[in-house]
């Protein structure tokens, strides 16, 4: 007895069509690897450039901060306590002296502020973006304080808690 069940039909795919499909997928995969590698390389180069710019900003800010501390801080700590018990004429002299010193230090601090504000960091470079924002906050606060002291001749230079907090966050200590 013979079983008369129909035989399933097999579709024959030409060998060249299957090979072509594999070649297309291989080319797509290879292109994706090349694009990803190029993007990674460009991002690494950009990160290195940004790191150098942020470090230069921090270095300029560190020097400007040291200069302002040296010029203004010494005056606020050593001269001012001796004059507190003196008459108002000497207090005015201290204000004038602080204004002159602040005016002398201000250009260096403003230059550091400009350097930090010129730094451009890609938003996905989180650590660099955080460092840049901290440096900008401190440099802006320091510029504002020195402008105020230069204009008024007095002001709390060393004991400004907000300025000290921003300075610490910027890593300029």
Per residue in 88-140, pLDDT (tens digit) is 444 445 666 788 888 889 999 999 999 999 999 999 999 999 999 999 999 99
Residue 145 covered by a domain: yes
Residue 47 covered by a domain: no
Mean pLDDT of 60-72: 89
Residue 63 covered by a domain: yes
Residue 67 covered by a domain: yes
Residue 40 covered by a domain: no
> What rounded mean pLDDT belongs to the chain?
81
What domain count does the chain have?
A: 1
Main-chain dihedrals φ then ψ at residue 121, nearest 5 degrees: -125, 135
Look up the domain containing 122 and give its range. 53-169
What pTM was computed for the model? 0.65
Main-chain dihedrals φ then ψ at residue 157, nearest 5 degrees: -80, -55
Cα–Cα distances in Å, from 151 out to 42, 53, 101, 168? 47, 32, 11, 26
Residue 106 covered by a domain: yes
């Amino acid at each position: 007895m013979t079983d008369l069940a129909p035989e399933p039909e097999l579709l024959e795919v030409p060998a060249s069509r299957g090979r072509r499909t594999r070649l297309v997928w291989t080319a797509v995969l290879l292109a994706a690897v090349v694009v990803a590698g190029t993007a990674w390389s460009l991002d690494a180069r950009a990160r290195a450039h940004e790191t150098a710019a942020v470090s230069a900003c921090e270095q300029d800010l560190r020097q400007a901060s040291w200069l302002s501390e040296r010029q203004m801080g010494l005056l606020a700590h050593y001269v001012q306590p001796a004059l507190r018990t003196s008459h108002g004429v000497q207090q005015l002299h201290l204000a004038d002296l602080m204004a002159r010193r602040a005016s002398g230090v201000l250009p260096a601090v403003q230059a550091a502020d400009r350097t930090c504000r010129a730094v451009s960091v890609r938003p996905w470079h989180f650590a660099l973006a955080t460092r840049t924002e901290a440096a900008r906050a401190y440099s802006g606060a320091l510029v504002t304080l020195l402008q105020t002291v230069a204009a008024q001749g007095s002001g709390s230079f060393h004991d400004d808690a907000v300025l000290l907090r921003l300075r610490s966050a910027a890593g300029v200590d």
